[in-house]
Structure 1
Amino acid sequence: MQFDFFPSRTVTLYLAKLFVVRIFAMLVMLVLVLMMLDLLSNSGKILAVPGNGQGELLTYVSLRIPQLIQSFLPYSALLATLITLVALNQNSEVIAMKAAGMSAHQVLAPLLLTAGIVGLLNFGFNERVVTRATATLKAWEAVDYGAVPRDSGVKANIYMTDGSGVLTAARMEGAGEAIVMADLTWYERNPDGTISDQINAERATYANPGWKLERATRFRVQNAVTDQLDSLVVGQGLTPEQIDLAKVDADAQPFWTLSESIAAYDEAGRRTDELRAKWWHKISGPLSTFLMPLLGAVAAFGLARSGQLFLRAVIGMAMGFAYFVVDSAALAMGSFGGYPPFLAAWAPFLLFILIGETILIRTEE
């Protein structure tokens, strides 16, 4: 049996079932608690918009829950690992399995396999559900929870410069020459960098060249005069291709779409470190679920009556949360170029695999 990676079929299914049920239970508990706290902080903003009511609150919940599932599924796997292994240890089931000739790796193998499958499902869930929900929610937040945008591909908070001018837009829909920007502001600057004119407009479309502002209001800083403009063309140096690349949100784009956006950024000669780090993290993030049984394994072994079971569980939890802290820090470093993108996404994962394996081998094998 020492040369078989998995224990018997019965033991494998038994351990996998225990683990899956606890992952689901922990996830439901975390999502419900965090969703209630999130609603307490945001429901006032949603209901402050005239016409919004229970339907809009439910819409917000439906868009926010996928994000919470994505973020806290690895935490749920960590907590489920500790609960499962502590219970097995207290009931002397781990001792029975080791007495039957099973190694520590064989005890953990069903949990590792289950965590790997859950990680793959999480990756698919992120690509098909979370990215769309994130794009729609950010677009909705950009209009202060007004009318829910119908296009989930809406981009929010656009910022572009054209010579002495600066263009900002709350949201953008469409692509190419069909781009429509809404709630935008054009700042015209003096040679010394100070603002000479501020023009606010409800809508802008491509004028080939430039962008035609509709229902615009201009404020002249020098003499504090405000005047209304039926239309005005600004930003003649800004092309639709530049606007398309103005805001690429890695969290709101699926894996393959983000690959195309990174290629477009490369062609335009723009910096891609942040996007590449998040591109790699779309794989390493869901796969972190696979790590949790290994990091929490310290709670499975050692005699329960020795009085150190609680300490072992705390150590396992500390190792799991240390991984999340290091992972977030490395991703932040990779986003501004401190680490290479691949290293930022994968170094914490590989490091903690080595740490977990080292502890497991030195203490139990």
Structure 2
Amino acid sequence: MRIRLGRIERYVLAQQLRALAVALAVISALVMLIDFVEVSRGLNSSGELSGARIFGLVLLKSPTVIIQLLPFVFLFGTLAAFVGLNRRSELIAMRAAGVSAWRFVLPAAGAALVLGVLSVTVFGPMAAAGDGLWQRERGRISGSTPGSDAQQAVWLREGDAARQMIIRGGQQDPASGRLLDASFFIYTTTADGRRTFSERIDATTASLTAGRWRLTNATGAQTGQRAVRYATLDLPSNLADEEAFQRFARPQSTPFWSLPNQIQRIEDAGFASTAYRLRLQQLLATPLMFAAMSILAAAFSLRLMRLGDLAKMTVAAVVLGFAFFFVNQFSSAMGSAEVVPPFLAAWLPPVLTALAAFTLLFYTEDG
């Protein structure tokens, strides 16, 4: 099915895209200016970083914040586009010619939906990669030195539904990646779902290769039994060699396409994946939020100039947009705290925004 837009729809859509570009540029400039000041004060207290270096760090840090503020880009951009059309009496002419508001509001919402999909599938992963680089660079600049992790204890966890292992390494050899002075605490899962401690194994070294832990000079003791010594001992592992000693990235630093595997990996390790499930559902609901914000802004700006109160309606749209944004933040907090399911916490705010926008548009268009 081929969707064809008339001249009016194309004109209104062009006005909306131009206004969205301006709104995006303004918000991006404000975010980057704030981040530049923050990075300059936080990481450049000694004055060793050049302005170009600070700007490069800002380019890594700012996109994640800008993407979080994209609902306001669609709110302010669409509002500016339709208010401009209204002030130039172009909307009056369209309505007088019998053009329904749905003809130019729905294409605007469709454009927001498409841009939302692109932001989730293309721009979001790029911003997530930049955020991961920013976190590493910040840690390195703020005082971490190569090899410092070798002096810190390493904690890992892995397993499945039948068995869980908590692994502690006194140190990690930076040259070979082996764990030194390692301890393995093994738990088994009973039929009723409870985990019971079954065995502890201490080893001089522990190396992860080919889906197994190779322990040397190990001593193992099961509950209620005498200790047994092993020159070498192999334990099955479901950790990938290249991922084993990497910390789980923050939900904001995890690309959309990697979230399902990350959730599975976290759950296989026995950790709670609520924050990552919430992040995945929020990304899936993002296009709907963008479209709802566009419809909301358009509905508030359709009031004819001769009827007055356009300024009040514009302010009301901005206030209502901020209200829905704070509802979204509150819902996210409730989802992170597991007060409500992640699916409900992610989808409720955009659905409420869309219902409010459609209700206002029906009232404005059909009375």
Deviates most, 25-34 or 123-132 = 123-132
2:44 aligned with 1:47: yes
The verdict on how the C-alpha distance between 1:54 and 1:240 changes in structure 2, with shifts beyond 3 A counting, is farther
CA offsets 1:210-230 (integer angstroms, 9 cap, x no match): 9xxxxxxxxxxxxxxxxxxxx
Unaligned runs of 5+ in 2: 147-151, 158-164, 180-203, 209-234
Match of 1:314 in 2: 315
2:60 aligned with 1:60: no
AA aligned opposite 1:34: V
**1 CA distance for matches of 2:15 and 2:272?**
46
Deviates most, 81-90 or 52-61 = 52-61
- Indicate if the aligned counterparts of 1:262 and 1:272 stay in contact, CA closer than 8 A: yes
**2 CA distance for matches of 1:323 and 1:111?**
20
Deviates most, 63-72 or 132-141 = 63-72
Deviation at 1:306, TM superposition (A): 2.6
Match of 2:205 in 1: 207
- Please identify the structure whose Cα radius of gyration is greater: 2
**1 CA distance for matches of 2:81 and 2:10?**
14
**1 CA distance for matches of 2:84 and 2:293?**
16
AA aligned opposite 2:292: L
Match of 2:188 in 1: none
Deviates most, 57-66 or 265-274 = 265-274
Matches within 5 A, 1:171-320: 178=177, 207-208=205-206, 241=239, 247-320=248-321
Name which of 71, 79, 84 aligns with 2:81: 84
Match of 1:124 in 2: 121
Match of 2:93 in 1: 96
TM-score of the superposition, structure 2-length normalised?
A: 0.70
AA aligned opposite 2:102: H
Match of 1:135 in 2: 132
Deviation at 1:121, TM superposition (A): 2.1
Deviation at 1:326, TM superposition (A): 1.0
SS of aligned partner of 1:207: strand
The verdict on how the C-alpha distance between 1:148 and 1:42 changes in structure 2, with shifts beyond 3 A counting, is farther
**2 CA distance for matches of 1:148 and 1:24?**
41
SS of aligned partner of 1:208: strand
**1 CA distance for matches of 2:8 and 2:178?**
58
**2 CA distance for matches of 1:12 and 1:106?**
7
The verdict on how the C-alpha distance between 1:121 and 1:294 changes in structure 2, with shifts beyond 3 A counting, is same
- Indicate if the aligned counterparts of 1:86 and 1:300 stay in contact, CA closer than 8 A: yes
Match of 1:115 in 2: 112
Deviation at 1:99, TM superposition (A): 2.0
Match of 1:31 in 2: 28
- Indicate if the aligned counterparts of 2:125 and 2:256 stay in contact, CA closer than 8 A: no
- Indicate if the aligned counterparts of 2:277 and 2:342 stay in contact, CA closer than 8 A: yes
CA offsets 1:42-94 (integer angstroms, 9 cap, x no match): 21333235742223212212212322331222211111111111111222222
Match of 2:337 in 1: 336
**2 CA distance for matches of 1:349 and 1:245?**
34
AA aligned opposite 2:325: F
Deviation at 1:251, TM superposition (A): 1.2
- Indicate if the aligned counterparts of 1:298 and 1:315 stay in contact, CA closer than 8 A: no
**1 CA distance for matches of 2:301 and 2:170?**
55
The verdict on how the C-alpha distance between 1:166 and 1:286 changes in structure 2, with shifts beyond 3 A counting, is farther
**1 CA distance for matches of 2:85 and 2:41?**
45
Q: How many residues align?
A: 299
- The percent identity for this pair of structures is 25
